[in-house]
Chains A and B, each alone.
Chain A
Amino acid sequence: MKTVIETKKLSKWYGNVLGLSDVSLQIEAGITGILGPNGAGKSTFLKLITGQIKPNIGSCTIEGQKIRNNYHFYSKIGFCPEQDSFYEEMTGWQFMTGLLKLHHYSPSEIKAMTKEALEIVELTEDKDRVIKSYSRGMRQRLKFAQAIAHKPEIIVFDEPLNGLDPLGRRKIIRLVKSYEEEGKTILVSSHVLPEIEAMTKQIILIHQGKVFAQGDIHYIRDLIDTHPHIVSIKCRNPRQLASTFIREDYVLNIHFGSADNTLLIETNNRDKFFSLLPSLFVKYNIEVDEITSPDDNLQAVFDYLVEK
């Protein structure tokens, strides 16, 4: 696939504080999740690639063009900022139409676009209320609406699910996914792993201003082959199963779970473990109720990478 966003040795300092260090990435169309704890450098990265701040070192291009002060290009970009800030004395409608005016659309286009965007985020009924009277969730949805109203090709969402109720989150996640189907390039940042996981498998892990890893979640798992995995097995005779695994060198730890008949096995060779598992069940005639992998999510990978 064609690279849409490219950064080369992108670095940014705020005085003596490091914001981002030596980030070289290529981002293609589709949804890319930017993952990292608060203060990791996610927002700095998003501000750099949208040209809101300039890098101390390195460069960033979108579709081969420099973005900072290249204001014509902003008709293609939608940006949903992290901060909960608005022109509080405006109504939702005035806020949306006012910002769309800056895109040089005709009044009828502005009206239609505003109407559509507010409908998408379900704010039509509250469009004439002043923003300062909006709830946190409504404000978040309005921020989302201003980013998508002009139908941009590249949309950058900085923590878009903050302050939303579970229903609102599901709706926004569904919307973000629908933009991927339209062939758009979407960047979504979050410090909440399940949020990103629900939207994409394509992630960039950022911590302390550095990129820890980039790629598909499974690819990242392959990268860290020594990453210990925990496998939970619920069976009739967990102690017997434990006695067979204790001899294996790829098993690092064995715990008995708080629930009845649950065995938690930590292994550093997941493939070998799973290949031997069926034969052991057969050999010792162990009836298995359930096999799960509690750390088979982004959180486990992220925790591991950060510790490493």
Chain B
Amino acid sequence: MNKITVRRLLFLWNSIRKVYSFFFFMGKKSNKTKIFFIVALLPVIMALIIKLNPIFSGRSSTEGIYIFSNVIIVFYLQALILLLALFFGTSVCSEEVEGKTLTYLTTRPVSKSAIILGKYAAYTSLVILMTGIGVTISFLILNVNKLHDFSLYEILIRDVIVLSLGIMCYTALFTFVGTFLKKSILFGFVFGFGWENVIQYFPGSTQRFSIVHYLKSLLPVPKTGRFSFLMFKLEPSTPVAAVFMLFLITGIFLGLACLFFSLKDYIFED
């Protein structure tokens, strides 16, 4: 790499950091974040109900870590992170256009790619943070009587990493969609809750056309038990291949988002 390329990359990196801090700070305070933080905490209520149910019903309780891995994490994986990534990812571009604030960013000495990447990174961090808090609280509630068992924390860390990879990948996809589609939310719902939730159950290599396939490939497959249907028909990829694919998908969609955002004219509607 010559000096000019290095200087450009450094400038891009600095620009991304500035955009990131601007939107991370703003995102923390926004009402949207507060609402979605409550949504991200819904599994905590689920965990509380599950934990308290044996006390009131008198039935024997299922092991906390089993519920955590097979209900809470799957709920996050198949519903919540999709929902959060959809709303935050599509808004990377669309809230600037709909709010007519794009002008303030595009008339600054930062590249359009830096705007997209910085804001994407800020929103992805926020969603990971919201999800991480929800997952950790749920874990603690469900395993309240086994908190001294440090082997359980490995499961928590693994699951948080898998969810974070999912958020990274889905947010990149929806960021891209938001740069060129006006009704990006609608597309997101169809993709997230249609395609992703159907294609993953197809046998053979078809399921590899879904992001959730690679995420599930990083989780252990329960062979038996009440919740084994959640991993139904999964023919997992190797963990290395799964991580590689998730990063590749993220990179491709972010690259496309930067390209579209740099080339497209965004016209504000009255």
Contact = CB atoms under 8 A, between A and B. Distances in A.
Contacts of B106: 51-52
A51 B107 CA distance: 8
Given A52-B103, A86-B101, A146-B104, A102 B110 contact: yes
Contact of A14 (B15, B19, B31, B267): B267
A73 B18 contact: no
B2 to A, nearest CB: 18
Interface in B165-211: none
6 contacts: A69-B111, A89-B29, A90-B26, A102-B15, A102-B110, A104-B109
Given A52-B106, A85-B101, A98 B26 contact: yes
A146 B22 CA distance: 15
Interface in A64-104: 69, 71-75, 77-79, 81, 83, 85-87, 89-90, 94, 98-99, 101-104
B109 A74 contact: yes
A83 B109 contact: no
B143 to A, nearest CB: 37
Given A89-B30, A102-B15, A102-B19, A94 B105 contact: no
Interface of B: 14-15, 18-19, 21-22, 25-26, 29-31, 99-101, 103-112, 262, 265-268
B265 A85 contact: no
Nearest to A156: B107
A104 B18 contact: yes
Contacts of B104: 81, 99, 146
A77 B111 CA distance: 15
A225 to B, nearest CB: 39
Nearest to A50: B107
A85 B266 CA distance: 15
A54 interface: yes
Contacts of A85: 99-101, 103
Given A71-B109, A79-B103, A98 B15 contact: no
A53 B268 contact: no
A21 to B, nearest CB: 17
A49 to B, nearest CB: 11
Interface string A99-112: 10111100000000
Contacts of A89: 26, 29-31
A102 B101 CA distance: 15
A69 B107 CA distance: 10
Nearest to A69: B262
A102 B22 contact: yes
B265 A101 contact: no
B103 A101 contact: no
A96 to B, nearest CB: 11
Nearest to B111: A71
A74 B18 contact: no
A87 B32 CA distance: 13
A102 B44 CA distance: 38
Nearest to A67: B107
Contacts of A146: 104
B107 A52 contact: yes
Contacts of A102: 15, 18-19, 22, 105, 108-110
Question: 10 closest pairs, A vs B, by CB?
Answer: A85-B100, A102-B108, A79-B107, A74-B109, A83-B100, A75-B109, A81-B103, A53-B265, A98-B22, A101-B18
A98 B29 CA distance: 14
A256 B100 CA distance: 52
Contacts of A74: 107-110
Given A89-B26, A102-B105, A102-B110, 9 more contacts: A14-B267, A53-B266, A81-B103, A83-B100, A87-B26, A87-B101, A98-B26, A102-B108, A104-B14
Nearest to A95: B104
Contacts of B265: 53-54
Contacts of A90: 26, 29
A101 B115 CA distance: 13
A71 B110 contact: yes
Which of B21, B105, B108 gathers the greatest number of chain A CB atoms within 10 Å?
B108
Contacts of B26: 87, 89-90, 94, 98
Nearest to A84: B100
A307 B101 CA distance: 36
A26 B110 CA distance: 27
Nearest to B263: A54
Which of B22, B29, B99, B266 gathers the greatest number of chain A CB atoms within 10 Å?
B22
A81 B105 CA distance: 12
Contacts of B30: 89
A107 to B, nearest CB: 11
A308 to B, nearest CB: 29
A205 B112 CA distance: 32
A103 B14 CA distance: 10
A80 B103 CA distance: 9
A77 B107 contact: yes
A54 B266 CA distance: 10
A250 B262 CA distance: 58
A101 B25 CA distance: 13
